[in-house]
Structure 1
Amino acid sequence: MNNTGAVNATPSSQALHYRNFTAADIPTAHTLSMVCGWPHRPEDWQFAAEQGTGFAAEENGVVIGTALCWKYGTERGSLGLVIVSPEHQGRGIGRKLMESLLEELGPRITFLHATPAGRPLYEKLGFNVCDTLQQFQGNVGETLPVTLPDGERLRAATTADFPTLIELATRASGLERKTMLSALLEMGENVVLERDGEIIGFSNLRRFGRGLVIGPMVAMRSPDDLRAKALIGYWLNSREGQFIRIDVPSGSSLADWLVAQGMKCVDTSVKMVRNAPAAAHQGAPDPVYRLYGLVSQAMF
Structure 2
Amino acid sequence: MNDSTRREPVVAAAQLSLRDLSETDLPVAQRFSEQAGWPHRLSDWQSLTALGVGRVVMCDGEIASIGQIFTWDEQAASIGLLVSDETHRGGEAETLLLRDLLARAGARSVTVHAFGHWRHTVERFGFRESGSVLQYQGRPRPAPLIAIPAGTRLRPASRADEVLLCELDARANGVMRERLISAWLDQPIQAIVLDDEESGQGVQGFAFLRRFGRGAFIGPVVATNPQLARALIAHLCGMAAGKFLRLDAVEHHAAPMQAWFEGLGLTCVNRVPKMTLGSLPTGASDLHTFVVAAQALG
TM-score with structure 1 setting the length: 0.89
Q: Paired residue for 2:5?
A: none
State the SS of the aligned residue for 1:237.
helix
The letter for the 1-side match of 2:271 is: T
Give the superposition deviation at 1:73: 0.9
Q: Paired residue for 2:23?
A: 23
In structure 2, how many angstroms separate the alpha carbons of the residues matched to 1:94 and 1:210? 28
Q: Paired residue for 2:3?
A: none
In structure 2, how many angstroms separate the alpha carbons of the residues matched to 1:248 and 1:68? 22
The letter for the 2-side match of 1:192 is: V
Residue 154 (1) aligns with residue 136 (2): no
In structure 1, how many angstroms separate the alpha carbons of the residues matched to 2:87 and 2:11? 22
Q: Paired residue for 1:63?
A: 63
* Matched residue count: 283
Residue 214 (1) aligns with residue 212 (2): no
Match of 1:294 among 265, 286, 292: 292
Deviation string, structure 1 residues 65-106 (Cα, Å, up to 9, x no partner): 101110011110000111121123353111110001001111
The letter for the 1-side match of 2:206 is: F
Give the superposition deviation at 1:149: 1.8
Residue 106 (1) aligns with residue 106 (2): yes
In structure 2, how many angstroms separate the alpha carbons of the residues matched to 1:158 and 1:55? 33
Q: Paired residue for 1:33?
A: 33
Task: Summarize the Cα distance change of 1:76–1:212 in structure 2 as closer, same or farther, 3 Å threshold.
Answer: same
Match of 1:262 among 261, 265, 268: 265
Once superposed, which parts of structure 1, at least 4 consecutive aligned residues long, lie more than 3 Å away? 10-16
In structure 1, how many angstroms separate the alpha carbons of the residues matched to 2:245 and 2:223? 20
Give the superposition deviation at 1:186: 1.8
In structure 2, how many angstroms separate the alpha carbons of the residues matched to 1:250 and 1:104? 29
Give the superposition deviation at 1:145: 2.1
Deviation string, structure 1 residues 233-257 (Cα, Å, up to 9, x no partner): 1111153211111111122233221
| Contact 2:132/2:271 (<8 A) preserved | yes
In structure 1, how many angstroms separate the alpha carbons of the residues matched to 2:248 and 2:47? 18
The letter for the 2-side match of 1:216 is: P
Q: Paired residue for 1:185?
A: 185
Give the superposition deviation at 1:16: 3.2
Instruction: Tell me whether 32-41 or 235-244 shows the greater mean CA deviation.
Output: 235-244
The letter for the 2-side match of 1:54 is: G
- How much is the aligned-residue C-alpha RMSD, in angstroms? 1.7
In structure 1, runs of 5+ residues without a counterpart are 1-9
In structure 2, how many angstroms separate the alpha carbons of the residues matched to 1:120 and 1:113? 12
Residue 202 (1) aligns with residue 206 (2): yes
The letter for the 2-side match of 1:91 is: G
Q: Paired residue for 2:7?
A: none
| Contact 1:32/1:85 (<8 A) preserved | yes
TM-score with structure 2 setting the length: 0.90
| Contact 2:143/2:237 (<8 A) preserved | yes
Give the superposition deviation at 1:41: 1.0
State the SS of the aligned residue for 1:285.
coil
| Contact 1:23/1:49 (<8 A) preserved | no
